[in-house]
Amino acid sequence: SVTKAGDYEGELIMATNATFPPYEFVENGEYEGIDVEIAEKIAEELNFELVIEDVEFGSIIAGVESGKYSMGMAGMTVTDERKKSVNFSDTYAVAVQSVIVPSGSDIKSIDDISSEKKIGVQQDTTGDIYATEDYGDDAIVRYKTGPDAVQALASGKVDCVIIDNEPAKAYVKANDGLELLDSAYAEEEYAICVSKNDEELLEKINDALAKLKADGTIDSIVSKYISA
Ligand code: GLN
Q: CATH number for the domain including 112?
A: 3.40.190.10
Residue ranges lining ligand 1, Cβ < 6 Å: 17, 20, 57, 74-77, 122, 125-126, 164
Q: Is the entire prediction scored with pTM above 0.90?
A: yes
- What pLDDT, in 10s, does the model give residues 191-202? 999 999 999 999
Q: How far apart are the CA of 77 and the centre of ligand 1, in A?
A: 6
Confidence at residue 7, expressed as pLDDT on a 0 to 100 scale? 60
Atom of ligand 1 nearest to the CA of 122: 8
- Same domain for 137 and 173, yes or no, is yes
Show the domain range for 130: 96-187
- The sign one gets for the Cα dihedral 86, 88, 93, 98 is positive
Question: How far does the centroid of ligand 1 lie from the alpha carbon of residue 208, in Å?
Answer: 23
ipTM at complex level: 0.97
Contacts of 201 (CB under 8 A, 6+ apart): 6, 70, 71, 194, 195
Structural domain tally of the chain? 2
The ligand 1 atom at the shortest distance from the C-alpha of residue 19 is 9
The reported pLDDT for the residue numbered 185 is 82
CB atoms under 10 Å from CB of 63, counted, come to: 18
pLDDT value at position 6?
53
Please check whether residue 1 lies inside any domain of the structure.
Answer: no
Residue type, 1: S
34 Cα: distance to centroid of ligand 1 (angstroms): 14
For residues 79 and 153, state if they share a domain.
no
For ligand 1, atom 5, the nearest C-alpha belongs to: 125
Name the residue type at position 143: Y
Instruction: Answer yes or no: is 59 within a domain.
Output: yes
- pLDDT of 1 > 70? The answer is no
Task: Tell whether 141 is covered by a domain.
Answer: yes
- CA 42 from chain center: how many Å? 18
pLDDT in tens, 167-223: 999 999 999 999 999 888 889 999 999 999 999 999 999 999 999 999 999 999 999
DSSP-based three-state secondary structure for 38: helix
In a domain, 4, yes or no: no
